[in-house]
Homo-oligomer: A and B are copies of this chain.
Amino acid sequence: MGEMTGEASERRVPTEARLEFRVRYVECDPMGYMHHSHYLPMFELGRTELLRLAGISYRELEERDVLFAVAKIAVNFKRPARYDDILELVTRITRQTHVRIEHAYEMFNKTTGDLLCTGESTIACINRKGEVQQIPEFLRSDVGSAPRRV
């Protein structure tokens, strides 16, 4: 974990990550569609993937008492995903302040290219007691506190 502290300027969190999912049987409902609630854990995995691209593991962050809690989330559903579909999630950081990060999400059916849903969230940096704290310097993305670019 020591490597996370040095040379922060060279390991800036990238602002876009792509991640694939295959829709699981257990995730589909009697309509035959993936239940809409399952997009939220996928978005979470998209955020984690952005960290991973910068060489940062969320598990290590938690061990350092740097946690993130979801403060807001919104999703617009356009088309359903079905069992065994391959999905591709694009996760972007759209805005970052000293204590919050905003992400935007686009979920595609990878085979057809169809856009299935879009989402937005705001996460807040907290400690294990649930108190808001400043995001550590090495977690700053290039987006900084720039105006939203969605």
Q: Chain A interface (Cβ within 8 Å of chain B)?
A: 24-26, 28-33, 35-38, 40-41, 44-45, 48, 57-59, 62, 67, 69-77, 80, 82-84, 128, 130
Contact = CB atoms under 8 A, between A and B. Distances in A.
Contacts of A82: 59
A25 B37 contact: no
A41 B35 CA distance: 9
B69 A83 contact: no
Nearest to A40: B37
Q: What is the total number of copies of this protein in its complex?
A: 4
A129 to B, nearest CB: 11
Contacts of A37: 26, 37-38, 40-41, 44
Most chain B CB inside 10 Å of its own CB: which residue of A31, A62, A70: A31
